[in-house]
Every structure is written in C-alpha cells, then in structure tokens.
Amino acid sequence: MKGEFTRWGLGAQRALVGGLQLCAVVGLLAGFEQPLLGRASSVGLALMMLVAVGVRIRIKDSIMQTIPALLYLGLQVYLSLEAF
C-alpha cells in the first residue's frame, strides 16, 4: 500500500487517510445505534471515494484499476441514502 500512495502522489497523507477510514468504520458501526452518525460516516466515506476516483482519473489509471473505487463509491452513496 505504501507504494500505491506514492504512485497516487499521496505518500505524505497516508496516515491521515488511514485514520479517517478507521474513524469512518467506527462511525458506521455506531450507526446501528445512532443512525445519524452512521449516515454522516457513510457520506464521509462517499466523499473520500469520490476523491479516490478523481485521483485515479488524474493519474490516468485504466478503467479496470478505477472500477473498485467506483463500486465503493456506489456502495457508500447507497448506504448514505437508504441504509440509515
């Protein structure tokens, strides 16, 4: 993963991104009891995945390399709108 962050031009932000992802996961789990918190966490992850898709486009990754980010973006949008 370290090499991927460097390839994406985000080597210095690796710890920040990981920390935000961990916080979002905790928020998603807490969303079972507090739906508003789950929805906010899901929106945050959706924004993070939207940025990830933008990074993939900026560095000219192939569509096959971009598909996982698009799928996770779709999942988070669904969770934001329907699940909580």
* pTM for this prediction: 0.84
Domain definitions of the chain by residue range = 2-83
**In the predicted model, what is the mean pLDDT of residues 36-47?**
95
pLDDT value at residue 69: 95
Report, as an integer, the average pLDDT of 20-45: 95
Residue 45 CB contacts under 8 Å (≥ 6 apart), including other chains:
21, 24, 28, 72, 76
pLDDT of 1 strictly over 80: no
pLDDT at 9: 82
Residues above pLDDT 90, as percent of the chain: 80
- Helix, strand, or coil (residue 66): helix
